[in-house]
Structures are given as structure tokens and as C-alpha cells.
């Protein structure tokens, strides 16, 4: 592939965000130098840090920067210092607004346990088997974006969150999920709560109707309570899981645990073809780890490689980054949160240096600074 020129909006956010973002940018820069691409990184304030600076989690300048970029890389937002703010002023509100403004209605979360990390999965190897799941979560509707209301006081206090879906909203995300399944094992599990919720009844009808256009796909429907159990009992029965915003939020955290840690899972959020997609790890800002250089950068790094593959069509480059991560893991190096008794624990920045260079050189570096090995 001839050299590409791309602009990437960078939102480091809060907590461990800036530390893990540094790792992703360093690897993307190496990748650009190695393969002859030009990536321009434009950094913008977002989340709690933006609230502190401007009073707004999504300043206009940040939104404009994201809209005009070829893709957006986000690390993580939020933290206890902003938890007391009303919902609509919190860092999370900025993320929801950004998703809405960029028209991001598809959220893809791949859960593919890495061979070298199978021992940190809470599941026995025979249950984990060949688990390789892609969760397609609807991202622009549901109870997240319906009216949120509250009133009254004391014993009379009340609150209401409205869940809403239109057939068109279900159809557009379901199309993507069917296509995704077509490019994989050809199985799609649509997850809902159609025995109780009207939105789920509409969801199931719409997905079933669309299924007629994809006769080669094996479509099944599953209630969300059962799905959450099946993910633990027999995760390798799934190929692509399609579900709504709220169920997708919950099931993707659950499924990430199969891989051993939520810190390992990347995501892509996208809208219409030709508009910038957003890539972020699915974990949060881990305030208790912030500033200590101990966070696991793999979810962030994998989000960068997902961006290369999905937004820029750079499959070889994406594999180049992933292979670097695997090589370091294969040598037994782990950040603290994904370590096991026989691992060599390294800092976030050391893990990065090992991915960037030769593992053994990095090990020498580690010895020199008295860390880990
Ligand atoms: C996620 C997060 C967000 C969500 C929060 C931070 C608003 O949990 O991306 O999964 O609920 O979508
Ligand atoms: Mg979540």
C-alpha cells in the first residue's frame, strides 16, 4: 500500500488515559516511519480534564477537531473528582454527546483471548476453547438516549429513563452485524429481552425481517439473561453477537473477562461510511492506577491497530503492531494487572519499549533500571 496521509484526533482524557495513549501514539509513529505513512496527531482536551479547563467535557474545539479528522483515538475518561456533578455535566455526558455528534451508531468489541494469556482467563481451557466473539452493540439509541427525568423528594422522589428504538435504528446496526458475520463464521446471535420489553419486540421483528436478506447466515435470538449465562458456560458457541446499547454495555464487560482482563479489549465506534470512526479501549480511566506507570496499554494499542485495519485499510500494519505485542507477551512480560506468578512484571512504559524494539534489548534496559525481571 503506498504511503497514506491521515489526521488522527487524539483524546487522552483522564486517569491512566494519557499514559496508555502515549504508547499507542509511539507505536503508530513507528508504524508510519516503517511503512512510509504520514500520521498527523492532533490532541484535544476531553472528559474531566476538559471540564477542569473549560467547564465542558466536550469543548467545541474538540468536537470540531474530531469531525475534521480521519479517525479519533480516545483513551478513557472519568474519575471520582467529577462523580458529584449532575449527570448532564459529567465526563460521561461528553462521551455520549461525542458519539451522538459523530453519528456513531455501531460499536464493535472483539473478544479474542490471546494464546499467551489463556492462563489468566477465569474459564478452564476446555470451556474457553476457541472463543472468538465480536459484539456489535448499538450505540446511538436505547435507554441511554431517551429522556432522563427525576422529581419529588424524600419518600416521594421518583426517576424515569425512557428506552426507545425505531425500526430504522435497529435495521442499520443489524445490517452491519450480518455483514460482519458473513465475513466470519456466518453465525449471528441477536440478544434482547423480547419477553418483557417493547423495544426488544421491535428489535427481534426487525432483525428477523432483515435476516431474510442474508440466507447464508445462521440467525438465532437469545434473551439477555440467558446470553449472559451462555457467555460463561460455552463462549465458543458465539460468532457475532448483536445487541442494544444497554445490554451491549453490560455483556461486553462480561465477555472481556474471558480474555483475562478488560484492559485487553479494544473497540471501534462508527457511523456512516466516510465519516470518522472512534477507537477506544473498553475499560475506564482506572483512577487508582493513574500516574503510576503500571496500567496495561494493550486495549489502547489494539484500538490503534483496529483503527489501522478498519478505517485506513492497513491490515499488514495492524498485524505488525499486534505481532509486536504478542512477541513481548510470549517472552513472559506482563503489566501488573495481567500478571501471573511466573510473569516478569514491567511498567506500562517498559512494555511499550519492548514492543517498539527488541525484547532482549528492552530486558537489558529493565535490568539497568532494576525493574521487574
Ligand atoms: C463504555 C462505557 C460508557 C458506556 C460510559 C463511560 C458512558 O461504559 O463505553 O462501555 O456506558 O457506553
Ligand atoms: Mg461500559
Spacing, Cα 282 to ligand 2 middle (Å): 6
Q: pTM of the predicted model, to two decimals?
A: 0.94
How much is the pLDDT for 313?
97
Going from the Cα of 2 to the center of ligand 2, the distance in angstroms, rounded, reads 37
| Ordered alpha helix ranges (H), 117-166 | 125-128
DSSP class of residue 188 equals E
- Residue closest to 176 by CA, chosen among 235, 282, 104: 104
Distance of alpha carbon 246 from alpha carbon 177, whole angstroms: 17
**Average pLDDT over every residue of 240-245:** 98
Instruction: Assign domain 106-268 to its CATH architecture.
Output: 3-Layer(aba) Sandwich (3.40)
pLDDT of amino acid 245: 98
pLDDT at 363: 52
pLDDT tens digits along 290-332: 999 999 999 999 999 999 999 999 999 999 999 999 999 999 9
pLDDT bucket at 373, cuts 50 / 70 / 90: very low
Give the number of other Cβ atoms within 10 Å of residue 195's Cβ.
10
Would you say the CB of residue 295 lies under 6 angstroms from ligand 1? no
What's the rounded mean pLDDT across residues 214-242?
A: 98
- On the question of pLDDT at 368 being above 90, the answer is no
- CA distance between the termini of the chain: 39
Which residues in the chain are classed under CATH 3.40.718.10? 1-102+276-332, 106-268
CA distance 33 to 353: 16
Residue with cell 470518522: 276
- pLDDT for 372 equals 41
Q: Which atom of ligand 1 is nearest to the CA of 249?
A: 10
- pLDDT of 338 above 90: yes
Query: Which ligand has an atom closest to residue 253 CA?
Result: 2
Residues belonging to the active site: 144, 193, 225, 249, 253
CA dist., res. 174 & res. 203, Å (int): 9
Distances (CA, A) of 315 to 120, 157, 309: 28, 53, 5
Tell me the average pLDDT across 258-281: 96
Q: Does position 225 have pLDDT exceeding 90, yes or no?
A: yes
Nearest to 109 by CA among 262, 228, 235: 262
Per-residue pLDDT tens over the stretch 56-80? 999 999 999 999 999 999 999 999 9
At residue 2, the pLDDT reads 75
pLDDT band at 123 (very low <50, low <70, confident <90, very high): very high
The per-residue pLDDT for 357 is: 86
Q: Percentage of the chain surpassing pLDDT 90?
A: 94
- For the cut 60, the answer to whether the pLDDT of residue 258 exceeds it is yes
Expressed in angstroms and rounded, the spacing between residue 46 Cα and the centre of ligand 2 is 18
Q: pLDDT category, 370, cuts 50, 70, 90?
A: very low
Q: What is the CA radius of gyration of the chain?
A: 21
**pLDDT greater than 80 at residue 9:** yes
1-102+276-332: which CATH architecture? 3-Layer(aba) Sandwich (3.40)
pLDDT for res 55: 95
What average pLDDT is seen over the chain?
94
Nearest CA to ligand 1 atom 4: 249
- Report pLDDT digits (tens) over 86-116: 999 999 999 999 999 999 999 999 999 999 9
Amino acid at each position: 500500500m503506498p504511503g497514506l496521509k491521515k489526521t488522527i484526533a487524539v483524546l487522552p482524557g483522564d486517569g491512566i488515559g494519557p499514559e496508555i495513549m502515549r504508547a499507542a501514539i509511539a507505536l503508530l509513529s513507528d508504524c508510519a516511519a516503517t511503512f512510509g505513512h504520514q500520521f498527523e496527531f492532533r490532541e484535544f482536551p476531553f472528559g474531566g480534564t476538559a471540564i477542569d479547563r473549560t467547564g465542558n467535557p466536550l469543548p467545541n474545539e474538540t468536537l470540531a477537531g474530531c469531525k475534521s479528522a480521519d479517525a479519533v483515538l480516545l483513551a478513557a475518561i472519568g474519575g471520582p473528582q467529577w462523580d458529584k456533578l449532575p449527570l448532564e455535566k459529567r465526563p460521561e455526558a461528553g462521551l455520549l454527546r461525542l458519539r451522538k455528534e459523530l453519528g456513531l451508531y455501531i460499536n464493535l468489541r472483539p473478544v479474542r483471548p490471546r494464546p499467551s494469556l489463556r492462563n489468566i482467563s477465569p474459564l478452564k481451557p476446555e470451556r474457553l476453547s476457541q472463543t472468538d466473539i465480536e459484539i456489535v452493540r448499538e450505540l446511538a439509541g436505547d435507554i441511554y438516549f431517551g429522556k432522563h427525568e427525576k422529581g419529588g423528594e424524600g419518600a416521594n422522589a421518583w426517576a424515569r429513563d425512557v428506552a426507545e428504538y425505531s425500526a430504522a435504528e435497529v435495521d442499520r446496526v443489524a445490517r452491519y452485524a450480518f455483514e460482519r458475520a458473513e465475513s466470519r463464521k456466518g453465525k449471528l446471535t441477536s440478544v434482547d429481552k423480547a419477553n418483557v420489553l417493547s423495544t426488544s419486540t421491535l428489535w427481534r421483528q426487525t432483525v428477523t425481517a432483515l435476516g431474510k436478506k442474508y440466507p447464508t447466515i445462521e440467525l438465532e435470538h437469545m434473551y439477555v439473561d440467558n446470553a449472559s449465562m451462555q457467555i460463561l458456560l460455552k463462549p465458543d458457541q458465539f460468532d457475532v453477537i448483536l445487541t442494544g446499547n444497554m445490554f451491549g454495555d453490560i455483556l461486553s464487560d462480561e465477555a472481556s473477562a474471558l480474555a483475562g482482563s478488560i484492559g485487553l479489549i479494544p473497540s471501534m465506534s462508527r457511523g456512516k461510511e466516510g465519516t470518522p470512526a472512534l477507537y477506544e479501549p473498553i475499560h475506564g480511566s482506572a483512577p487508582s492506577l493513574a500516574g503510576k506507570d503500571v496500567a496495561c496499554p494493550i486495549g489502547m494499542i489494539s484500538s490503534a491497530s483496529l483503527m489501522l485495519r478498519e478505517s485506513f485499510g492497513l491490515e499488514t500494519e495492524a498485524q505488525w503492531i499486534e505481532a509486536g505485542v504478542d512477541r513481548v507477551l510470549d517472552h513472559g512480560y506482563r503489566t501488573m494487572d495481567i500478571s501471573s506468578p511466573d510473569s516478569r512484571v514491567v511498567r506500562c512504559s517498559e512494555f511499550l519499549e519492548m514492543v517498539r524494539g527488541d525484547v532482549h534489548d528492552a530486558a537489558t534496559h529493565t535490568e539497568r533500571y532494576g525493574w521487574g525481571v
